[in-house]
Every structure is written in C-alpha cells, then in structure tokens.
Amino acid sequence: MKTLLIIALIMSGIPSMKTEGADRPAGNPKSTRSVVMAPHGIVATSHTLAAQVGIDILKKGGNAVDAAIAANAVIGATEPMSCGIGGDLFAIVWNAKDQKLYGLNASGRSPYATSINYFKSRGLKEIPIKGPLSWSVPGCVSGWEALKTRFGTMEFKTLLQPAIDYCEQGFPVTEIIGSGWKGSEILLRQTPNAAKTYLKNGRAPEIGEMMTNLYLARTYRSIAKQGARVFYSGSIADEIVEYSRKTGGLFSKKDFSDHTASWIDPVSTSYRGYDVWELPPNGQGIAALQILNLLEPYDISAMGHNSPEFLHRFIEAKKLAFADRAKFYTDPEVEKNLPIAELISKAYADERRKLIDLKKAARVVPAGDPILSHGDTIYMTVVDKDRNAVSLIQSVYYGWGSGHVPGNLGFMLQNRGCLFALDPNHLNALKPHKRPFHTIIPAMVTKDNEAWLSFGVMGGDMQPQGHVQVLMNMIDHGMNVQEAGDAARVRHFGSDSPTGSIMSDGGEVQIESGIDPEVKNALESMGHTVRYSKGAFGGYQAIRIDREQGILHGGSDPRKDGAAIGY
C-alpha cells in the first residue's frame, strides 16, 4: 500500500497521456524542444560546435560581434557546402550603447571584365549555375573586418583560433550536413582541388567521422595575421586570380583590390505594434515587409494557424511581393532611384491588396507601379550580456557554390553571379563591378525602440516567406521562440524571377508534413497546385530579448544540426 501511495503521488505531477502534448517534455504539442533561456548571452547557429565557440568568446569577455565572427569561421569549416569565406555576408547589428540598428552589406561585385555580350557571344542565354563564369568577388572576409573594426573587441588571432583548431585537429561530421556531403560526391570529384579538399580517399566523410581541412587552416592563419588585406590585395587574392586565369574565369586583381563592404541603413515596416527591420536591395529582405503590409489588415489569429483561409492569403501576397522583387530589386549603387520606400509603404500595399481574390489563386501576377501619387546558407544570431545583438547570414549560394576551390586555399567560391539577368533592359542586368540580386537576408524586430527579436530563416526564395511565417506564429498566434520555428511551413515556388523567368501557371505550393490533408484539399479547390514536400523548408534561428525579466529566449530549427546555447 505504501508503494502504491508513493507511485500515486509521483504520477499526480505527470500529465495524463490523454492530455494533448503529453508526449513532449514541456507538455507542448507544437515544439520539438524547450526554449533555451539564459541571462548573460545566447548564440544560435546551425551547428552546435559553432554555437559553443560563440559562447566561449562571450565568456572570455567578447561581445556579440566577436562571437558571431568566431562562430561563422567555425561553420565555414564544418558546413562548407553552405557557407565560407568564398561567399558573401549580410548583417544587422543592434548596438546597445547608442540604441541603434546598423546594416552591413558585404556582398561582392561582378568582375570588371564581364558583360552581357561576353555571354551572348558564347551562345549563353543565362549565366551558368556552376563554374568560373558564375563567380562574383567573395565579400565575407570584408564583412568580418568591417564588423570587427566598428564593433568588435577582439583580434582575428583570437577569433579564428577555434576554427583553425577544428580544421587541423578535426571535427565530427553531423547528420544533416553529412547527408548533404554524401549526396555531393559526384560534384566534388569534378575538380581536383574540390576533391582533395572535401573528400577522403575519393569519398565523402561519413556521419560521425572526423574531418579536417588543413588548407583552410592555413588560409585562416593568414587572415588572423594580416587581416582582410591579405584576402583582397595579398597572397590569397593572387592565388584566386591565378586559379581564375587557368580555369576560364574573369577575375583580376583590381576586382579584389576595389572591393568594399558597405554600411547601410536597415529599412522597416510596422506590424501590429512591432517594427520589423530588413536590409534594402540588392537583397530580398523588403519582400518580407511587403508581404506583412499586405496581410496586416486581415484577422490572422482568427483564421487559425495554417488554415486554408490564411495560407491562401499568404500565398497570394507572396506572389504580389515577388512580382515586384523580379522587377525592382537590384544593386542601388549602380541602378539609382529605386522605389524602395514606396514598395514598403502601407499605401502601396493597400493598392496591391485589391488584386487578391479571396477565393481563387492567381496564375499571372504583374509587377506594380510603386510610384504612388535552391540555395544553401547559414544563419546565426548572438545576443550578449549588454544586449548587443547580431543577426548575421552568410552563404556560398547553391550547395558547394560554384563547385570550385581556388588553388590550395581550402574554400569554395560562390556562384552568386548566376543571379544576374542577361536582358540589358532589366534593372538586375549584368554589368561590370555590380552586385547581383541576393537571396540572403538577416532580420531584426524592435518594440518600443528596443531590440525585441533577432532572427532569420535561411533557404533561398524561402527566406522572406519564412520570415513572415515565423513572425506571424509569434505575433498573431502567441507562439514562443521555439514553437515559431518548429511549426510546419509552406513554400511557394514559381514566381517571376530577378533573372527574367515569368510565372504563367500560378506556380506550385509545397507543404511540410505537419499540414493537414484537408488544408491541402481546400487550397487545391481554390486553384493552387499543392504537394507535400519530401524535405523541409529553411533553417531558423532566433533570440528574443525579455527586458522585463532580464532573460534571453533562444530557439533553433530542428531542420538543421544546430542549437541555441546560452550561459
């Protein structure tokens, strides 16, 4: 009897198995894990080793920017198909001292020697996705330098040492990353430098196997000693340009010596009392702002999460924003007077919203007149004890970028240049020394003029769609920072493209397995082409700042290998 009483007392504190969500540790049916909560700092990345390195930097007295650079360097080694110093970087920084947001565009430009005629003379109607003709100058290292110089407190020697150690001593290949690595063996065998850098005896490393990259370690040591100048005007630039000369690329030393990262002002719109911040073009961040403006008048919370009524409106709003994206998003340093303020205005959204048929999917969506009278990426975010926040995204674009490792440098060169249009009348038309349209976008949310959420969702065209979905999960549906990223997502494919392709059939809606089949049927009855995806959409990381309690809340996407780690 005494034993039965003890069991009864223990069981009285356990939810009944009939209770919704009882199979979750926190009794939450919408979340795969609990929110990470910490008072002093959180680092959220797609790789746990990188997140831990960021925490180590914070514990040594570094700030959020220091931790972000160190973590990014580690991911460049451990997740090389997605990112690395052969790619570009964008960031939004909340500086707690002056209570201000700063935007950084560290994307590179096309070679001076390129032109539309160059491609047309070779019978090419679009820029190849792989190979030397897809290259633009890598901007990542200039981004690190700009961040460190303006806000950092530590030198590259300290920040890059953990990544150097993993490159030399080895790191275990994690599950999702390892699966992608295994599927890329054929690509990596196509060029000798890629094979010797990323294959072991002609094969991809196995999940759980240790992998090294001694070439990248040597490159990181050069940057640690000499800074960004070695990459853009020193021996690293020399090696890249020489490799370009041998393989049919168009790079010159001037392309590298003339490269600069740019500090820019983030832009925003309000959504139900929150100010949502993105970077202006050449990125696609303002598409998220346009979608939010289009959807704000609807009672989203009353429609229910992932209901047919909501998803139909969301998909149609996405089509409208992406029609404008295809026409107006380009490099504002080259194409002047872009109507950015008009595109993200409430008045423009009011006009465009009239095109949404609440019962029928649109097959063709024209761009508006705003003058009113398969990509791989990593995203990370860090918040420190002083509540400085960094929202940082970095990528080589497609998986393994261009497929080319220059010389013995140990990193892939990006293929971001394939996103130029070869139509000379297009705003995103290829020109010498011009930044291409970009998909990678960091984001931040402020409330009452204080940083409230630093977040991002990686994944090519999915990124603005993901930004909107996770924000509405939190703001309209009251989800916590982990639930908001765990919840099932949808992704619309087939909108007009910044490279010139046009949607003519309404595109296709892909949905994750968490979406009810009845919702799929309802969307199809409205004219949408819908199918369940074989994979997952995006990779989310986020940190919410609870100023009332003095606590940070971190969330990390189960669709990736990473985690939010706090201290």
Q: What is the pLDDT of residues 303-326, one digit of tens each?
A: 999 999 999 999 999 999 999 999
Rounded distance, CA 15 to CA 20, Å? 9
User: How does pLDDT run across 350-385, given as a tens digit for each residue?
Assistant: 999 999 999 999 988 878 766 544 556 899 999 999
Question: Binning pLDDT at 50, 70 and 90, where does residue 30 land?
Answer: low
pLDDT score at 174: 96
Mean pLDDT lowest among 102-106, 162-166, 268-272, 503-507? 503-507
Does any domain span residue 307? Answer: no
Give mean pLDDT, residues 250-277.
98
pLDDT of residue 262 exceeding 80, the answer is yes
pLDDT of residue 25 exceeding 50, the answer is no
In a 13 Å sphere around the CA of 269, the CA atoms on its Cβ side amount to: 27
Taking the CA atoms of residue 224, residue 226, residue 232 and residue 238 in that order, the dihedral angle to the nearest 10 degrees is -100
pLDDT score at 376: 67
pLDDT of residue 228 exceeding 50, the answer is yes
Give mean pLDDT, residues 22-31.
49
SS (H, E, C) 131-168: CHHHCCCCCHHHHHHHHHHHHCCCCHHHHCHHHHHHHH
Does any domain span residue 59? Answer: yes
Active site residue 377: yes
List the domain range (segments joined by +) for residue 212: 41-263+377-419
Catalytic residue among 377, 381, 439, 446: 377
pLDDT of residue 24 exceeding 50, the answer is no
Rounded distance, CA 33 to CA 105, Å? 33
Q: Are strands 450-458 and 539-546 parallel, antiparallel or unpaired?
A: antiparallel
pLDDT score at 26: 42
Does any domain span residue 72? Answer: yes
User: How does pLDDT run across 401-413, given as a tens digit for each residue?
Assistant: 999 999 999 999 9
Burial class of residue 235 in the structure, from the number of CB atoms within 10 Å of its CB (0-12 exposed, 13-18 middle, 19+ buried) = middle
SS (H, E, C) 202-227: CECCCCCCEECCHHHHHHHHHHHHHC
Does any domain span residue 152? Answer: yes
pLDDT of residue 208 exceeding 90, the answer is yes
Does any domain span residue 356? Answer: no
Does any domain span residue 158? Answer: yes
Number of domains in the chain: 1
Burial class of residue 222 in the structure, from the number of CB atoms within 10 Å of its CB (0-12 exposed, 13-18 middle, 19+ buried) = middle
Mean pLDDT lowest among 198-212, 499-513, 552-566? 499-513
Does any domain span residue 388? Answer: yes
Rounded distance, CA 482 to CA 32, Å? 8
Average pLDDT of the chain is: 92
Does any domain span residue 511? Answer: no
pLDDT score at 3: 37
User: How does pLDDT run across 142-186, given as a tens digit for each residue?
Assistant: 999 999 999 999 999 999 999 999 999 999 999 999 999 999 999
pLDDT score at 393: 96
